[in-house]
Amino acid sequence: MNEKKAVGEKAVEFLKEDIVVGLGTGSTVYYTLQLLGKLVQQGYSIKGIPTSSQTAKIATELNIPLTSFNEIDEIDIAIDGADEVSSSLELIKGGGGALLREKIVAKAAKKLIIVADSSKLVDWLGSFPLPVEIVPFGVEATKRHIQKLGINPEIRMVDGTPFITDNGNYILDCACPKILAPHEMEHDLNMIPGVVDNGLFIGMADMVITMDRNKEVIIMEREKQVTNTIHQ
């Protein structure tokens, strides 16, 4: 079974016509976009705000209408992926390098739905290197300040050169111990000069769509903190 396809497509069931949808980035949301594109071709009416140039390109190819914050005040529902999801629905995001725009879109959304295959579920955040977006100026100074928090940052490289985000910044991938206080770490990182934002998404996910051990889609909701099994 393709877990990413199953959970990515399931998210579309929570959308209604004539709403603004935050369109996330990554291999799981890809399937959300593909299904949305098919629905749009059939006359389904939505507007999307992409979290990356990559997503904007895919959406345009699928003829999904796009809008911007110049035209709207808030987003009805955002759908995005995650690199880690804790049992309390806290997230690490940014493996695709779009964490800043993803967080801006998530913050503007009335509801944030996360789609993630079962491999992304963890008891505690921290196994996946935490992405931190930083400005290019003063990289080494910023790294030294981050190291004082007890984590080890390394510049993300692509073909021997630093990865550049859609915002013209660098990404530091930070090896962390088990993150027992994610809210405090999110705050402490963002207080460092040179840090634009980090991949800890704390208290932001309203719903997580994933798979259980029986390969059944499950819905985890923050409000109820209960898990409902959906038989396919």
Please identify every residue annotated as catalytic: 102
Work out the burial of residue 201: count CB atoms within 10 Å of its CB; fewer than 13 is exposed, 13-18 middle, 19 or more buried.
buried
Instruction: Show the tokens assigned to 146.
Output: 């981050």
Q: Are 53 and 166 in contact (CB under 8 A)?
A: yes
- Take residue 117 and report the two structure tokens written for it: 């295959």
Cα–Cα dist 34/23, whole Å: 11
Give 4's DSSP letter. H
Spatial CA neighbour of 37 closest among 27, 28, 26, 48: 48
Give the whole-angstrom CA distance, residue 14 versus residue 116: 16
Q: Closest by alpha carbon to 31, among 13, 8, 58?
A: 8
Supply φ then ψ for residue 185, to 5 degrees. -65, -40
| Residue carrying structure tokens 């985000």 | 165
Taking alpha carbons only, the member of 59, 92, 75, 57 closest to residue 178 is 92
